[in-house]
Structure 1
Amino acid sequence: MPIKTKVKIVAIAKDEAAYFADWVFHHLYFGFDAIDIYLNRTSDNSKDVLEKITTHHPNVNFQYADWLDTCPDAVGKFLQYCVYAKAFAEEKAKSEYTHILFIDIDEMWTPQDFKSSIHDCLAKQPKHSSISFQWANLLGEEQQFASIPHSLRIIKSSTVKSIVSLSTDVEKIQLHLPEFVRNNNFQGCFLSDGSPFEHAAKNYQQLARGNQIELKPYFILHRMYRSEIEYISLLYRGRPSDNIPLKFNRGGYLRSARTMRELTFPHSPHNKYETDKQAFIRKLNLSREQRHAQAYVLKRAQKAISIIPSLIEQYESEIKNAFSGVNNKNVQRAISGAPIKKSPVSWLKGIKNTVKQG
């Protein structure tokens, strides 16, 4: 008789309240049994949104990870590793779940047929220590705070996220694929179609020829760009203690690319997903909280733009790289040294309609 699988997702979030409802619904819809969210350095209304979600869904929980900020700086830099290692050890000791998946809020485990569950995926590979899912990077989107479209443009990546069997012994937690103890509990590392994980020559956690292999039946939809204004917002760090208030680890905003491909989900499953998602949000009565969360994102974008003039002389190349592909006129004016116009109120208009439309 097959072993019944139970899968928990663990995520760390900072100021991502605008995306919680969609993200939580998505993973519950596709069969994940529980979700733990660790909040860190949060200043938006994450608590308000998550309290409403957890009231209706007791298998979703959240807690704060700010205690890590009391550790020496050398430890704080490895926040994700610390939280993931803690979660893995706790879940392994409890033996309540069979598997654990560490992902971010901009990452969504997704089946190509848009109806299969995580348990369907696991049932096809009864023996494994890990199953890795390739990133499909979703290119820039026109609509702010958009739902997953029926048809989308993606770029395949060598980067993966991995679901890990809790019966396996881990030597070292890593963000994309742990290093395993090669004892009798080790059952091998695979991709979601059952093929062996072929490691890149210089990076154990990455796929060899990742951008060349066929997209597997299950993958991680990585929403790293979203709409242009959301991308601008994500570049702002927002902490007074940060030496540089902008993030320079992004390579610009992409709407298209030579290596992109179009992915279309089947109509019927996608329509059902959208109908069920709207019912999920209505039941939670989250419209007010989502409007506040989305307004926070848009106001943060204004802050990102307003800080450019004070940094452009020292960090010109980094700023131009991070904001490459961005057409926003105020961004272009700030980079060129021209005065920035007053914050466009139009950014905040239509949030109510966006929430209603999903």
Structure 2
Amino acid sequence: MINASFLSKVGKSSVRSADDIRVKLVAIAKDEGAYFTQWVHHHLFFGFDDIEIFINRTTDNSSEVLDDISRSYPSVTWDSADWVDMCPEEAKKQIQFVVYNKVWHEAKKENKFTHIIFLDIDEYWIPRHFNISIKQFLADFSDDDVISFEWLNDMGTLPKLSHVPRTISGNLSPLVKTIYPLHAPVKELRHHVPLFSKKVAHLLANKVDFRPRPSLIQAVSPELQSLKDAFIYHRAHRSAEEYVSLLLRGRPGDAFPYKTNRYGLPVKDDMHREIELPLDAFLKYEQSYVNFERKTNYFNHKLSAESFVEERYKASLANLAKHSLANYPLMMQMFRGVKLPEVTKTFKDVRKNLISFRPDDFRFIRDLAIDAASQNIDEAIELMEQARELNPTGSIILKKLDEFRALKGQ
């Protein structure tokens, strides 16, 4: 329990000792057995006091993995959230908010924690210098401060099933994840930034006031974006193979088998950042993970957990041709930038099939060539040349053809 002197200060603005801070981390997950051990270790390593995980609609060995973690680390607990499926259809689609509000309500009643944060299993809280805990970080803020951490989105270029790398690279995202004092006046929990019932001290990790974008209130204003001393490493893609596998998880309440709120593998943009974690701190972290894996008996579960990811990857590929032909724009959105041979061959065949119905439509062929460029530059050139034969003077066609040839040359 929190000491009495701290509880008497709740609601007052004052900097306090890290020893007075108690942080609860909550997640809801589906078929994440291959990732729990890394994610739980990471957040225990950085001082999160309590981790509560809810699994839903899960068919892998998540429960076995979590049982062994909980046995060795009682501060890590898990439960099923399948009871949400007894709710009406619209409520089922909001499973995260249903569960998160339940936990928020219970945490306030328990009065054991000062702060709470909701993260997904692909989200890792990272102190940039890798040498302070979440509680040490929060001790430099006031009791009432609500703090939002910006995302650094991974690029999907790491080896399959790899751990957090020493060199972290990605594109900064304006989206954030937020940690709250449990007495914060939250009116409505949301994915990134909540709705408050009254004005609060809402800060970024560098203590600058959070200001939203006018068109996207859960995203930080562009001029405030930067890689700060603490951020969320968002491992949404991991490797190309894992990304393709994860796409087949679908979305809650959606009958379509693929995860339609994904937009392909990213490319470096103006917000790309890369940091190298301090060697001594990283080696200590890696050794700690080895010990954690041994203590939680993950070797008993690893083969099954990782095989599930691989089998889902194969199923994702097996369903690709059928859904890509019937839902080409949507599937292209999700698989843009994926250059795995099985994927590029399937999409090449699909585009060839689509063109057979509109062989004289140079605009249609041109647009398919632009799609192909993110997956297979040779196919993109071939299709754009086909479009040029139908429209030899088309300015977009000629420009893109030059671009594609330059890319191939690079």
TM-score (norm 2): 0.78
Partners of 1:309 and 1:6 in 2: CA distance: 50
Do residues 67 (structure 1) and 83 (structure 2) align?
yes
Stretches of 4+ moved more than 3 A in 1?
255-259
Q: Which residue type is aligned with residue 107 of structure 1?
A: E
Q: Do structure 1's residue 197 and structure 2's residue 213 form an aligned pair?
A: no
Question: Is the contact made by 1:140 and 1:255 (CA closer than 8 Å) also made in structure 2?
Answer: no
Match of 1:57 in 2: 73
**Over residues 166-201 of structure 1, what are the superposed CA-to-partner deviations in whole Å (9 max), with x where a residue is unaligned?**
01222111111221221xxx6411111211111211
Alignment pair present for 1:158 and 2:170: no
Take 1:322 and 1:258, find their aligned partners in 2: how far apart are those partners? Answer: 22
Q: Give the corresponding residue for 1:215.
A: 227
Q: Report if aligned partners of 1:121, 1:192 keep a CA contact under 8 Å in 2.
A: no
**What is the aligned counterpart of 1:271 among 280, 283, 290?**
283
- Distance in 1, matches of 2:258 and 2:206, equals 39
**Higher relative contact order, structure no. (Cα contacts within 8 Å, ≥ 6 residues apart):** 1
1:249-293 Cα offsets, whole Å, 9 max, x none, are 211113644531211111111111011111111122211301211
Query: 1 CA distance for matches of 2:270 and 2:227?
Result: 17
**Does residue 129 of structure 2 align to residue 113 of structure 1?**
yes
What is the RMSD computed on CA atoms of the aligned residues? 1.9
Q: Which runs of 5+ in 1 are unaligned?
A: 339-358
Q: String of CA shifts for 1:211-266, please: whole Å, max 9, x gaps.
A: x6321111100001111100000111379x85321222211113644531211111
1:86 has 2:106 as partner:
no
What is aligned with 1:188? 201
Aligned residues: 334
* Matching residue within 315, 322, 337 for 1:325: 337
Q: Deviations over 1:82-132 (max 9, x none)?
A: 111111111011111011000100000110011111011111102434111
Residue 192 of structure 2 aligns with an amino acid whose one-letter code is: H
Evaluate the alpha carbon distance shift between residue 298 and residue 256 of structure 1 in structure 2; reply closer, same or farther with a 3 A threshold.
farther
Larger Rg computed on CA atoms: 2
In 1, distance between residues paired with 2:303 and 2:27?
23
Question: Which position in structure 1 is the counterpart of 2:245?
Answer: 233
Tell me which residue corresponds to 2:260: 248
Take 1:96 and 1:78, find their aligned partners in 2: how far apart are those partners?
27
- Given that 2:227 and 2:273 are in contact with CA atoms closer than 8 Å, whether structure 1 keeps it comes out as no
AA aligned to 1:217 is D
Alpha-carbon distance in 2 for matches of 1:324, 1:238? 17
Going from structure 1 to structure 2, the CA distance change for 1:289 and 1:255 (only over 3 Å counts) comes to: farther
Q: Which amino acid in structure 2 is aligned with residue 161 of structure 1?
A: K
- Which has more helix, going by share of residues? 2
Segments of 5+ residues of structure 2 without an aligned counterpart are 6-15, 351-410
Q: Which whole-Å CA distance do the structure 2 matches of 1:324 and 1:9 have between them?
A: 33
